[in-house]
Amino acid sequence: MKADDLKIEELVDFSEGRVSLHGRRLVISDLRSWAQFCRDLLEMVGPDQTRRILTRFGYFWGQADAAAMERIFEWETVQELLKAMVRLQSLQGLAKAVLKELHCDPATGRFEMKLTWHDSGPAGEYLAELGTSEQPTCWILTGYASGYASYCLHEDVYFIEEKCRTRGDRICQAVGRDRESWSDEIKPHLPYFQGDDIQGKIRFLTDELRRKGRELARQRRQLGLPPNEAKIAFVEVRSQAFRQVMDLAARIAPFDSSVLITGETGTGKEVMARYMHRLSRRASGPLLGVNCSALPETLLESELFGHKAGAFTGASQDRVGLFEQAGKGTIFLDEIGDISPGMQMKLLRVLQEREVQRVGESKPRKIDVRVIAATNRDLQRAVAEGKFREDLYFRIRVIEIELPPLRSRTEDILPLARNFVIQFSKKLKLPHLRLDATCVDYLQAYRWPGNVRELENALERAAVLCKDQIIRPEDLPRNILQESTTARPGGGDTQRSLAQVEQEHILAVLESTGGNRSKAAQILEIGAATLWRKLKEIKRPGGKGQ
């Protein structure tokens, strides 16, 4: 029997429900579904395992075909049996396979075969489904040839593709040799022909990971560090200024010293407090915060220190204050600069004695908390002016962390903005929400008087207003666009009238306070009535001076 005599219609027997090649059952399958399977594999197990799986699939197929050929026909020579492989690849529609060279010496076992595949089916479908590839991808074909030849020669033969259409070559071309004839060149390819115990690997790695986790936890316990540092996630920080601050915070976090966080409104003082708490030895305890300016003195006192039932009107039950609740944790006192002189004294006593008395009780109770305070006021000036107790100031300000305003770290604006967009995408259920690149210049040119919080508010507003889930410059608040435009080179910061500058500043401040007029008036240091009058003038067409 000669390879050229093989005819597909004689080999394959078609009857309904069963297609067979001399008794071996076949199916006619669609190549595109292989390519889709290949895409799935690439996504699920990565390129190496995909190549391995498809190579081995081809290998088993080639092996089975070789066994069938050997069993069915009497072959004149082993060379003819090998040539039949080329013929079978063509007949089965894998590619138009053409034999280029065949050297085979059964006496020495040396073997070399070169063949080309024109219009390779696997390559064509791969290109259609996945596009070009840096590596050859006709793994089924090389696997098939390797399996077939290995069966015929009773030794390991490996085919490798030297050219492939998915890599941009005109045709695919492969060479096969026995293990000995290949030099070390074949070594990196061998694993793809061999099975892999993936389940075993996963089991091993899972065990290893658990062991490392236990080891790490043990070491952290020995060092007295909190257990969950790895879980702290930040937005990417690019600016030198903020990186230095984070660095300082991380260094002092493990110690129990009181920390005062200062910085303009909206710079993220509470976020910083949380960051330090998580890095501290108290991380497994609670972090409890209170905004001191939000509560009148009596309420703040009972909030912080607790009270006994009946201590004052409305105190119907005993209440445990935050200082006690935060036991072994951290208490965060925001806006500390706003507390009354009476409250300053009480707080000082608590911090000195490390014990609290609930309102209406005389029994002192020990506390074990770390205090982190924050303010946007100039406390040093308040001390000089006699508005804030100096002894309390020194007690809370053992270490001071000053958060830089957003305008002095413009490199961080874009990562922050992107992070907010991701958050709003989830919160507002807008899965395709994104920030158009044209917004970047505006965001970076604006001065952000309300800092990170203003950025957050501006983007939330834009996320709600934007069309097609794309935030474009026109969706940003008006004052951001105005300031950015005028601040641009050539735009002429010097070409604006005093009235214009004033109007824009008023609007910017109002935006930063979220529209709160009394806060805006405070920042601008003008009366509420003056602000009202100025806003009225802005709203009149043509603005002031008409």
Q: Which residues bind Zn ion (CB under 5 A)?
A: 120, 123, 138, 164, 172
546: Cβ contacts below 8 Å, ≥ 6 apart: 540
Number of H helices, E strands in the chain: 20, 18
**How far is 365 from 305, CA to CA, in rounded Å?**
10
Tokens of 259: 């920390």
In total, the chain counts a number of residues equal to: 546
4: Cβ contacts below 8 Å, ≥ 6 apart: 83, 87
Min separation Cβ 122 and Zn ion, Å: 7
Min separation Cβ 116 and Zn ion, Å: 10
Min separation Cβ 229 and Zn ion, Å: 49
Work out whether strand 110-118 and strand 96-105 pair parallel, antiparallel, or are unpaired: antiparallel
> With respect to Zn ion, which residue has the nearer C-beta, 141 or 443?
141
Min separation Cβ 133 and Zn ion, Å: 9
Give whole-number Cα distances, 36 to 89, 136, 481, in Å: 21, 17, 48
> With respect to Zn ion, which residue has the nearer C-beta, 97 or 279?
97
The number of CA neighbours under 13 Å toward the Cβ of 256 is 9
Strands (DSSP E) found in 171-282:
172-178, 259-262
> With respect to Zn ion, which residue has the nearer C-beta, 145 or 172?
172
DSSP code for 165:
G
> With respect to Zn ion, which residue has the nearer C-beta, 126 or 448?
126
* Residue 323, Ramachandran bin (φ over 0: left; ψ between -120 and 50: alpha; else beta): alpha
185: Cβ contacts below 8 Å, ≥ 6 apart: none
Residue 256 phi/psi, 5-degree rounding, is -85, 0
Contact 328, 256 (CB under 8 A): no
Residue 27 phi/psi, 5-degree rounding, is -130, 150
Min separation Cβ 136 and Zn ion, Å: 5
- Give the residue carrying structure tokens 């009535």: 529
Min separation Cβ 66 and Zn ion, Å: 21
> With respect to Zn ion, which residue has the nearer C-beta, 48 or 441?
48
Contact 408, 240 (CB under 8 A): no
> With respect to Zn ion, which residue has the nearer C-beta, 173 or 484?
173
Min separation Cβ 138 and Zn ion, Å: 3
Min separation Cβ 166 and Zn ion, Å: 6
> With respect to Zn ion, which residue has the nearer C-beta, 166 or 357?
166
